[in-house]
């Protein structure tokens, strides 16, 4: 598999999932907290660089469409100078839908229809065009592929009665073909990245991305907050195992998953969450979910158990010097795409190293990167 880099927010992953990912419990008349959080990215940087939307018209002939049948889209900022032949492709995140009801709701949002997507979005963090905000990748060709299929750019089916199109795999292929025609086929260096559902998509499509290029091209993959453990929740159940059974079955995802994964795990067992509201009927975890300072000692102990499990899971992965780790103990999500967590005066650090520096060191092989934070709440550099 292509070299991967985890920007895994140990407690950030947990708490974002606690609130947001259990989509079948959210009020369908409201955006999920995750989507609201992502929408706030553009407010982080001062005078952010805005990049317009491009519709993939060639996708129509391939049947590569969003949940509502509209054509997929991306945002593209052309590289220049020393970065003119280097490409950074970012896969947008934004949760999943696991049944007809939630997918019908999703197609009425920007995560299910290109008609509802912003006409321009802010390129901040790893997508910034400013050397002082993004020193290693600022002048690369930078692309953000919009997410509108609900299954991390995988799956290929439809539901005629509900007028739903599940074409994530086709969208991935159409987007890659479009970018290759725009010059990506000539890339000297390439990096696939994404956060949350986009981070999972990065893992799932990492080998596919590598196969697009000749062996002489330097290719790596950055998964930011895209590792979701199959852990027991607070009630002793596996909430998102049920959730992802819905996703994989409804959208026929299994055939698109890497065989290196499905040979060892059932496709519905890959991810999970810890404290969904349904498993917390008395609201014992509510304050802890919303404000980390209100977690009691036993709750912190439970979450520390999750941290230990995560470190155990990535132990084998971390043995290779080709793979990198930056695991901090911050209550944050999508740290590579936000300027204040990626590279700024008050960015989170591990040993005085910001995430942007760690990713650059890893990608360019400047040093081996295996940065793992001390247990929460020891890190005083976190942006909460």
pLDDT at residue 19 in the model: 27
Mean pLDDT of 359-363: 97
Res 7: pLDDT = 62
What does the pLDDT read at residue 213? 98
What CA–CA distance (Å, rounded) separates 175 from 187? 16
For residues 183-188, give the mean pLDDT. 98
A 10 A CB-CB count for 262 gives: 14
pLDDT score, position 268: 44
Mean pLDDT over 296-304 rounds to 87
Strands (E), the chain: 3-9, 49-55, 73-77, 86-91, 120-123, 141-145, 157-159, 164-166, 189-195, 218-224, 324-328, 349-350, 353-354, 370-372
Bond into 50 cis (ω within 30): no
Residue 224 has pLDDT above 70, yes or no: yes
In this predicted structure, which of 182-186, 293-297, 369-373 has the lowest mean pLDDT?
293-297
Instruction: Please report, rounded to a whole number, the percentage of residues in the chain having pLDDT higher than 70.
Output: 78
> How many H helices and E strands in the chain?
12, 14
Question: Predicted confidence band at 277 (pLDDT cuts at 50, 70, 90)?
Answer: confident
- Mean pLDDT, the chain, whole residue set: 84
Tell me the whole-structure pTM to 2 decimals: 0.84
Q: Tell me the pLDDT tens digit for each residue of 260-271.
A: 665 555 544 443
| Model confidence at 38: pLDDT above 50 | no
pLDDT at 42: 41
Q: 308 pLDDT exceeds 80?
A: yes
Distance, CA of 235 to CA of 247 (rounded, Å) = 22
What percentage of the chain exceeds 90 in pLDDT?
A: 58
- Which pLDDT score, from 0 to 100, does residue 190 have? 98
User: Residue 40: its pLDDT value, please?
Assistant: 45
**What is the model's pLDDT at position 265?**
53
Q: 28: closest CA among 83, 90, 100? A: 100
Task: Convert the pLDDT of each residue in 87-141 to its tens digit.
Answer: 999 999 999 998 999 999 999 999 999 999 999 999 999 999 999 999 999 999 9
pLDDT tier, 11 (very low <50, low <70, confident <90, very high otherwise):
very low
Distance separating alpha carbons of residues 288 and 365, to the nearest angstrom: 39
Which of the 8 DSSP states describes residue 366? S
């Amino acid at each position: 598999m292509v070299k991967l880099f985890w920007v895994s927010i140990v407690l950030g992953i947990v708490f974002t999932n606690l609130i947001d990912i259990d989509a079948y419990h959210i009020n369908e008349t409201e955006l999920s907290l995750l989507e609201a959080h992502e929408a706030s990215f553009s407010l982080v940087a001062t005078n952010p660089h805005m990049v317009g939307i491009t519709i993939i018209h060639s996708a129509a002939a391939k049947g590569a469409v969003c949940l509502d049948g509209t054509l997929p889209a991306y945002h593209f900022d052309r590289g220049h100078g020393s970065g003119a032949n280097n490409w950074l492709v970012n896969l947008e995140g934004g949760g999943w839908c696991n049944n007809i009801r939630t997918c019908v709701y999703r197609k009425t949002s920007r995560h299910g229809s290109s008609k509802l997507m912003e006409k321009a979005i802010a390129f901040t963090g790893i997508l910034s065009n400013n050397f002082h905000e993004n020193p290693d990748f600022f002048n690369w060709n930078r692309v953000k592929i919009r997410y509108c299929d609900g299954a991390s750019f995988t799956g290929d089916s439809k539901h005629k009665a509900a007028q739903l199109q599940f074409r994530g795999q086709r969208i991935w292929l159409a987007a890659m073909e479009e970018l290759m025609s725009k010059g990506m086929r000539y890339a000297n260096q390439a990096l696939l990245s994404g956060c949350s559902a986009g981070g999972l998509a990065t893992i799932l499509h990492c080998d596919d991305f590598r196969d697009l290029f000749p062996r002489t091209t330097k290719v790596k993959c950055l998964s930011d907050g895209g590792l979701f453990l199959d852990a027991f929740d607070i009630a002793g159940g596996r909430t998102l195992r049920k959730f992802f059974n819905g996703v994989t079955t409804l959208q026929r995802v299994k055939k698109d998953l890497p065989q290196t994964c499905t040979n060892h795990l059932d496709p519905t067992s890959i991810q999970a969450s810890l404290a969904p509201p349904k498993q917390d009927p008395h609201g014992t975890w509510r304050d802890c979910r919303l404000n980390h300072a209100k977690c009691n000692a036993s709750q912190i102990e439970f979450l520390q158990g999750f941290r230990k499990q995560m470190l155990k899971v990535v132990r084998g992965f971390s043995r290779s010097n080709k793979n990198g780790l930056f695991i901090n103990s911050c209550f944050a999500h999508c740290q590579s795409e936000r300027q204040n967590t990626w590279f700024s005066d008050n960015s989170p650090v591990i040993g005085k190293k910001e995430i942007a520096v760690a990713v650059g060191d890893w990608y360019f092989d400047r040093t081996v990167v295996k940065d793992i934070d001390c247990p929460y709440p020891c890190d005083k550099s976190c942006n909460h």
